[in-house]
Structure 1
């Protein structure tokens, strides 16, 4: 008799799973990175106290924006309601037809997808996340036949468009940002892409208090001696914090989305780089808040993602050295989790800026291994992940 829950087909066994957990500690000066509906920094209660919070959406957006500084524009995605206009521009490129004919062809190409229309003519009801190369591939389906297709009436044109693999073009060749962050199209489940990345809301490791900056602006053309007072008065809410940031990349899902081993490993490297180096831009000109992390720890696991935010359930209470105290707490929580659950990571890699001779550095090394520079951390992760398919095949 076959044991319970054993697949009848040996090939039906689940694929091996690999998760790349990223733990970051980053100290931010007075800032308003991510506003709530009142214009103040977002917050959350955790461990019984108020914490500074930066939403996962804000940091994912910052990460995607950082991609544009490193990768060719055509290799990335864009998210817009104006997909029809963008497609029409691609069709008209090279003078295949005039703008009006290109718009007609674009609408005909998108019609079979049955994406809900928005309130404005030409807009979709929601933001559509697609690769620029995917859109170019859809445009290429009709560009060379533009004159022939434009000459057809609407019914005949629709019949010709039905023969074209429009949905297939949007369902393959995903760019790195779609493969990492996924895509949901409520009307067309077949176009959905399961996200390979989970990003947590960043939380301060300690309690915070909301503060306000009262500012005035002077009218430079105000006549001296005749007019008094400020040209503008206002307030900006802000706080300062040492943030714990966490994200996890499912290598198996990313591989499924990209269908290529080398591209998958490269995508992880790009994500680690951009997630660590990016920063939300809220009120950036007012606070110049951009900093680099004081700690980046990467843990490769084959069991499940593990967020270590419980290290800060009891808020860090020191009035100075918060980053170092947070690092010690993180190292202890990681060591406790490994010891209690017995889930030894496949790889740990560490980069930090603490004095290598003090207790913080020693505790981090005992938990995450030898500290290295960030480029070396990336190299170690890449080398390990490049061998994952071979190990899984054994």
Structure 2
């Protein structure tokens, strides 16, 4: 079963997701420049809300390069020497097949792991302490000899894990109880055994209308400046736009349940957290200076047995009417109705539509719900029936 979530959300002056030069991200769609919020930004914004919407912290993960430092801190708390613990964990990661930058102590990849991974890594290092400590000592001596001889330090050699070490790595990276890894997937180029196929697909949000980025010229004045002096003490510009965005995401419940080791209860709670978190997710970019804290106005949920319809083509021609939300809602609902009429509805299990303003043209009255609670309840009930 697949859940599709379609949202229309208008933001005032904002720079929610900026590019490498600080401007709000954009995309050309239908021959016109649109405002854009990347799928990565939306996923992170939603993922950070999962624990507020029904998932325990033990059921969600972290993205980090700092496995070494965190595991070493655990070992120190257990009585190990700090310097030796760091060297042992570094070697431990290497024998498990994980590259480490010796200069920074950071892993080669930004790992997406369960929170228990740090505890399990520290436990592995404790169990293998003598072997890893001896290897760390040999490594340190070789490094000191290289430095003494004035030779260039060799690049770290990637170690192929033994069967036992590979089994330990699987335990450390096990994600069958980690809901957000199950939802958004994980890709590790060096070892496909640790990859997880994402159960959720998330589109880049695009504005339903053409957008031109603007900029705010600001000044600041020194509060302690003498009265006789005038002029600004700091000037600058901040880029922004304001736009009504179409947001789309879907969730394959079969894949989610499989990723979670067949645990249907955890999959159901993860689906509920996914749905609620995506509705409430707002990117954090420039919020302290712009406070663009708005909620979606139009919500459309579709539960289907197979297939998926991104409704972005409803806005291939940009909306130009003064009431952007009303016109965008009309476009969205009419496009969905047209697709249903042309392709049929045999795969669709149920539809729920809701609007803060109550404007839902071209929608079936039996599919309209009055509140957010009614919307999420109807979607989840249909998906889990």
Q: Which residue of 2 aligns with 1:27?
A: 10
Match of 1:187 among 187, 190, 205: 190
Q: Which residue of 2 aligns with 1:374?
A: 372
Match of 2:317 among 291, 298, 314: 314
Match of 1:271 among 265, 268, 274: 274
| C-alpha deviation, 1:162, in angstroms | 6.1
Match of 1:81 among 58, 65, 68: 65
Match of 2:252 among 238, 243, 250: 250
Q: Which residue of 2 aligns with 1:208?
A: 211
CA distance in 2, matches of 1:353, 1:288: 20
- TM-score, normalised to structure 2, is 0.86
* 1:160–1:253 CA distance, 2 compared to 1 (3 A): closer
Q: Which residue of 2 aligns with 1:222?
A: 225
SS of the counterpart of 1:347? Answer: strand
CA distance in 2, matches of 1:190, 1:159: 14
Question: Residues 41 and 52 of structure 1 are in contact (CA less than 8 Å); yes or no, is this contact kept in structure 2?
Answer: yes
Q: Which residue of 2 aligns with 1:36?
A: 19
CA distance in 2, matches of 1:363, 1:138: 55
SS of the counterpart of 2:48? Answer: helix
What do the CA deviations read for 1:74-109 (whole angstroms, capped 9, x no partner)? 33211111211122223444x253333432442343
* 1:155–1:284 CA distance, 2 compared to 1 (3 A): closer
| C-alpha deviation, 1:306, in angstroms | 1.1
Q: Which residue of 2 aligns with 1:7?
A: none
Q: Which residue of 2 aligns with 1:347?
A: 350
RMSD: 2.6
Q: Which residue of 1 aligns with 2:144?
A: none
Question: Residues 302 and 379 of structure 2 are in contact (CA less than 8 Å); yes or no, is this contact kept in structure 1?
Answer: no
* 1:118–1:318 CA distance, 2 compared to 1 (3 A): same
CA distance in 1, matches of 2:319, 2:280: 24
Q: Which residue of 2 aligns with 1:301?
A: 304
Pairing 1:130-209 to 2, within 5 Å after superposition: 130-143=113-126, 145=127, 149=130, 153-154=134-135, 163=164, 165-169=167-171, 170-209=173-212
| C-alpha deviation, 1:376, in angstroms | 2.2
Q: Which residue of 1 aligns with 2:325?
A: 323
Structure 1 unaligned residues grouped into runs of 5+? 1-17, 388-394
Q: For this pair of structures, how many residues does the alignment match?
A: 360
| C-alpha deviation, 1:119, in angstroms | 6.7
Q: Which residue of 1 aligns with 2:143?
A: none
| C-alpha deviation, 1:142, in angstroms | 4.8
